[in-house]
Amino acid sequence: MENRIRMQIFIFFYILGLNIFQASGADNSTQMQYFTVTIEKNAFNNITAILTRFDMDDLVVDRINMTTNCTQVGITTMCTCLPGYKWSDKVCQSSHSCCDNSCNFTNKAPMCIANSTVNIKGSISLSSLDYQNCLADTSTPQYKSCNEALKLKLQRVYSTLRGFDALHITKYSVGSVIAAFDIIISAISTQDLFNKSQALTKDLNATLNMQTTGVVQMSIPSYSVCYTSQHTVTCTSEDDLGVNPIWKLKRQNVEYDITNGTEAQVTSQPRITKVDLKRITELWEGEYTCSYKIQSDSLTITHKASAVLDVALLPKTDISTSPQFPYCTKNSDLLTVKLSCKIAPNNDSYNVTWDKKDIIAAIIPETYSTGQTDFSATTVVSCNSKDTAEVTCIFKNTCNNDLTSTQEQQQNTSTTINIIPVGGTHCNSDGVWKETKAGYTAVIQCSGAAGQILRPCSILGVWEQEDSQCVNQNLYNVLQKAIIVDIGLGSLDGNAATVFSQLQGATNNSRTINSFANINTSVQVLVSLSGKLQEISNTSTVNDFLTSSSNLLDRSLNNSWTNYKNNNQTLAETYLDSVERLIYMSNLTSESKKTNIAVGTCNEKGCNNTVFNVNVTLEGSNTGIVKTTGFQQLQDYLPHSDNNSQPNSIVVSITTENKQNSVMITIDFPLLSPRPRNVQMQCVAWDNNTHSWSQNGCEWQGANNLGRCICNHLSSFAILMSRYPLQIDGETEITYTGLCVSIISLLISLVIEMTVWSAVVKTNTLYLRHTAHINISLCLIIADCCFLASSIDKIPEIWCQTFVVLKHFCYLAMFFWMLCLSSTLLHQAVFLFHNVSKKNYLRFSLVLGYVCPFLIVFITFLTNNSGAEGSYYNRDGCWLVYNGLLQGSIFTFILPIGIIIFINVFSMLVVIMKLLDHPKSTDKSLEKEKGAAKTVLRTVILLTPIFGITWSLGFAVMILDLTSGNIVFIVNYAFILLNAFQGLFILLTTCLGDKMVREAVLNRLRKKTSASMSESSSKLDSSWKK
């Protein structure tokens, strides 16, 4: 028996030797051969002693091993792989029960292969024309000859590898000539494979790509691992492959690189590499691949191992009841409530139960078109029960900690059933909102979006406003990806690039994100990435980030930036902080401008950037790259609790590459709205500690540099403008007091004029003077009275308009009568012997004093929308409109009185010069100098009030801004005092200061006194006689 077996084997290998491939060099060709030996069962133990080495002339047969043990069992054959061997992948895939176990076959049983068997898939690209016929039809002789020649060429190279089993060319394709082939080798030296393949590429002048399976062995749990458990996936190789491995995970037809992250840690050493999974969820389920890629000029060999990790998942559940608040009526005792527990699409099987006793209907799973599965049941609740019923939905899975132990995990989700008792306070049904118990919140799921819509029912049973937390589904998906960018699935930079790209796409259409929930979700994406990234070096990623950040500031989204506080920080603050950090870490070397965000960069000493017309200059040492960012609209969203001011510039953020202890930053802001006169501006920086604007370290440069700020630290900056102009303390009180005194003084002055008129007015000159005095006093009295009347709060519009017209006319008339007076004095001073008749003077004065002001007021009234508010006058103060330099109706008042004051000053100077003009004398005594000085001073004092020269301070008041310092307040107080009390000064200078008038008044008083005394004496004498 033994000799017969040996003879059969000898003959088999002899025939084999005649057909073995012949190597083309010094190396020997090898060939694996498989054969079946049928023996008696009792001879099985002796067979290994017979299968020994055979030596022939040029053939050596060795490594004769048994691989498979098969036994006939009825009509089937039961086979088992012997130690060191396994079923091929083909057998495992056809019958999963065969892997690592005995297997039954009805047809011819396959043989097991060595555990060290290596499968190679190769692709060789041939540039030589010698193999063009391989692209011909497979039935042609040319194809067969070409195919056989190439196959023989490959076999002569790879048959020299120890353990060579088979080589097959599977197909040809175009691209020069590309041949795909498969090689099976029982064991391999990776260095031999590389050397021989490299020699083949040189010999054929070809490019060769090869992928091996079996060189690298993967160790992975073969059972369903528990949810959130920890496991390690390991790859080993017999040889040191000399390159770092690449780990990948394929899930749902998407392939991810596995890198170091919060949930995965990759470590590699020679001959071994592993991935430690710290928290296994559905994200880590799928096919794992580790590969070593070895390359030279025309050769690429990838050693690869793959296996599948199965995870016993626990679902994310959404529990609800229908109705949400069961409504009890007088005739009801028990109410039926449907319990619903929905889970996302999932292929796992669960044991689902409800933790409630009164389940009256079985759990019925129902799958919707969205892929969601609803596990529902029915229960009953009692209207008489005072206890709140709680129900819990329980999902259980089955998983393994290792090969031998099995356990159950469960996911519990609970809710309460809140009944509305008979007569209980509640909100009535309103459209989609069903009856809701008072003090509770009704919830409905968003349609076509992620999230819920909430509507509280107040304790009084009144519906409150809806709170929509619906988030655009695409935007919601972007946030979920942002949360996991750093877990180790894919590179952090690559994942971030994908998220920014998708965020940019999701926010491009502002109409799809026009809600607070969507803006909040978008900002949370930026928050997540700003906390996980260290650097953004990819230009397209930076562009996507800036575009998406700019999209969120679109003007159409103004109402979506609700000032909702979360942990004392508003959404706008969170946005600013996140974008600042992302810009700081971005590789920006040149200006980048989007619709609502612009970034300027520089790295020079004395750096200067311009964003949205805001010019920023930074002085510092070793600043590195300076980045200046401008944000449109953001100033309106940042919290500002001071109701006395408002933002009047965009927000500008400044960061430097290197930390700075001392800097000087000059910022020139263009103002968003014009600054009214006397309005205080504040240069402010955002304070993250107080969550508010702060003036610390910043200084406004005053009214002459409206938009300029100088700051000594880095931050985000803006300008605030006061809502109200600066007020002069006591201004109103002084004005009203002065006007009252002025009116009384003017009335006294008129009484005096009328009283002394016949005694004083004896020449044409005096007639002209006193006529002007009376008209000036009358005009000023009317104007001052109108001024006081228009100061009443909530004055009717028609009265306000009337008072403005009267003040405009009367003040102008007063100044034109002052012009008449100064013209008369100037004429007398220059033309001493020329007299003007009273009739001509009256005609001239009436035309100049009343007709000219009337024409000015009339034309101004008509040309300003017929005296319309905002065009001709302002309701605030009932006075003319000022719109800037030479703009507004106020200048129809300012320009005439300015010209008149100039002429009056000129006239006064001429009068002074004439008074000082005396014969020249060598005797210039001190007394004469003093006399001249007194003359000048007396003239100025007497003429200034009646010439209206004190009003010249009004030009200084208009030119100077109250924010410029204390000197401006002094000028304003002087203007208020001198003009509010102008009537008093006129009384003092024109009546009491005039010697003739004073004497006439005294004489009149003396006459009255003498007459009174004479009458008293007469009465006394008469009484004595009696």
Task: Determine the Cα–Cα distance for residues 586 and 549; give it in Å rounded to an integer.
Answer: 14
Q: Which fold has domain 591-726?
A: Chondroitinase Ac; Chain A, domain 3 (2.60.220)
Two tokens at 389? 């019923």
Q: Which residue has the higher pLDDT, 235 or 917?
A: 235
- pLDDT at residue 739 above 50? yes
User: Rounded distance, CA 695 to CA 711, Å?
Assistant: 9
Rounded (10°) CA dihedral 499, 504, 506, 509: 180
Query: What topology is assigned to 313-422 in CATH?
Result: Immunoglobulin-like (2.60.40)
Separation CA 438–CA 457 (nearest Å)? 5
- Please tell me which residue, 649 or 789, carries the higher pLDDT value: 649
Q: What is the tens place of the pLDDT at every residue in 40-68?
A: 666 666 665 666 666 666 667 767 778 88
pLDDT at 110 over 80: yes
DSSP string, 668-713: EPPPSSPPPTT--EEEEEEETTTTEEE-TTEEE--GGGTTEEEESS
Fold of 218-312: Immunoglobulin-like (2.60.40)
pLDDT category at 1018 given cuts 50, 70, 90 is: very low
Q: What tokens were used for 672?
A: 């968003």
Q: How far is residue 391's CA from residue 378's CA, in Å, rounded to a whole number?
A: 11
Contact between 187 and 116 under an 8 Å Cβ cutoff? The reply is: yes
**Cα(588)–Cα(599) distance, rounded to whole angstroms?**
8
- DSSP state at residue 112: P
Residue 12 pLDDT exceeds 60: no
Report yes or no: 626 and 657 within 8 Å, Cβ to Cβ: yes
Per-residue pLDDT tens for 384-431? 887 778 889 999 988 887 777 788 899 999 999 999 998 899 999 999
- pLDDT of amino acid 26: 54
Q: Which alpha helices (H) appear in 398-472, and where do they start and end?
A: none
CA quadruple 403, 407, 409, 410: dihedral sign: positive
More confident residue, 288 or 1006: 288
CB-based contact 459:466 (threshold 8 Å): no
Tell me the HSE value of 610 on the side-chain side, using a 13 A CA sphere.
3
Segment 736-753 shows an average pLDDT of: 89
For residue 8, pLDDT beyond 60: no
| pLDDT tier, 1024 (very low <50, low <70, confident <90, very high otherwise) | very low
Give the CATH class of 737-998: mainly alpha
pLDDT > 70 in the chain, percent: 88
Among 41-55, 449-463, 753-767, 769-783, top mean pLDDT goes to: 449-463
* pLDDT tens per residue across span 836-846: 677 777 888 88
Is the CATH number of domain 471-587 1.25.40.610? yes
Residue 424 to residues 143, 325, 328, 457, 695, Cα–Cα distance (Å): 91, 12, 9, 13, 55
- Enter the tokens of residue 335: 């109410």
Angle at 386 between CA 385 and CA 392, to 5 degrees: 80
Q: What is the mean pLDDT of the segment spanning 959-976?
A: 86
- Tens digit of each residue's pLDDT (9 = 90 or more) over 246-290: 999 999 899 999 999 999 999 999 999 999 999 999 999 999 999
- The pLDDT of residue 135 is above 70: yes
What's the start-to-end Cα distance of the chain, in Å?
Answer: 195
pLDDT digits (tens, 9 = 90+) for 777-815: 899 999 999 988 888 877 888 999 999 999 999 999 988
Going by C-alpha positions, the residue among 35, 55, 51 that lies closest to residue 43 is 51
**What's 659-678 look like in SS3?**
CCCCCEEEEECCCCCCCCCC
Q: Which residue has the tokens 């877990």?
A: 487
Peptide bond before 647: cis, by omega within 30 degrees of 0? no
- For tokens 């290998």, the residue is 13
The letter for the amino acid at 226 is: C
pLDDT for 469 beyond 80? yes
CB within 8 A of 11, min separation 6: which ones? none
CATH 3.90.1150.10 for domain 118-213: no
Rounded mean pLDDT, 24-44: 67
Instruction: Provide the token pair at 260.
Output: 């170091």
Q: Identify the band that residue 983 occupies on the pLDDT scale cut at 50, 70 and 90.
A: confident
299-309 and 334-343: which strand pairing? unpaired
202-248 tens-digit pLDDT: 999 999 999 999 999 999 998 899 999 999 999 999 889 989 999 99
Mean pLDDT of all residues in 1016-1023:
46
CA atoms within 13 A on the CB side of 554: 17
How big is the chain, counted in residues? 1026
User: Residue 1025 burial (CB < 10 Å; 0-12/13-18/19+)?
Assistant: exposed
Q: Half-sphere exposure (CA, 13 Å, Cβ side) for 658?
A: 13
CB 566 within 8 A of CB 639: no
Structure tokens at 500: 């920014």
Q: Dihedrals φ, ψ of 955, to 5°?
A: -65, -40
Question: Among residues 718, 722, 725, 700, which one has the least CA distance to residue 645?
Answer: 722
Q: Note whether 313-422 and 737-998 share their fold.
A: no
The domain spans of the chain are 2-114, 118-213, 218-312, 313-422, 425-462, 471-587, 591-726, 737-998
**If you average pLDDT over residues 932-941, what whole number do you get?**
54
Cβ pair 557, 514 in contact under 8 A: yes
Only one residue has tokens 């208009």, namely: 958
Instruction: Note the pLDDT tens digit of each residue in 871-900.
Output: 898 888 888 888 777 788 888 888 998 898
Look at residues 743, 741, 738, 818 and name the one whose alpha carbon lies nearest to residue 780.
Answer: 743
Tokens (6 digits) for 736: 């009203």
Strands (E), 14-163: 54-55, 60-61, 68-73, 76-81, 85-86, 103-105, 113-114, 118-126
Residue written as tokens 């919140």? 441
Q: Parallel, antiparallel, or unpaired: how do β-strands 716-722 and 681-687 relate? A: antiparallel
Q: If you write DSSP's letter for every residue of 835-874 in order, what string do you get?
A: ---HHHHHHHHHIIIIIHHHHHHHHHHHHTTTT-BTTTEE
pLDDT of residue 566: 55
Residues 608-623 as b or e (16 or more Cβ within 10 Å = b): ebebbebbbbbebeeb
Residue 1022 is predicted with a pLDDT of: 47
Q: How far is CA 330 from CA 350, 380, 385, 423, 842, in A?
A: 41, 17, 14, 9, 100
Amino acid 209: pLDDT: 96
pLDDT over threshold 80, residue 10: no
Residue 440, number of CB atoms within 10 A of its CB: 18
Percent of the chain with pLDDT strictly greater than 90: 43
197: tokens are 């393949």
Instruction: Round to whole Å and give the CA distance between 984 and 744.
Output: 8
Tell me what the pLDDT averaged over the chain comes to: 85
What ranges in 533-622 are assigned the alpha helix state H?
539-551, 571-585
At 1020 the pLDDT is 40
Structure tokens at 596: 């609502």
| Contact between residue 383 and residue 330 where contact means Cβ atoms under 8 Å apart | no
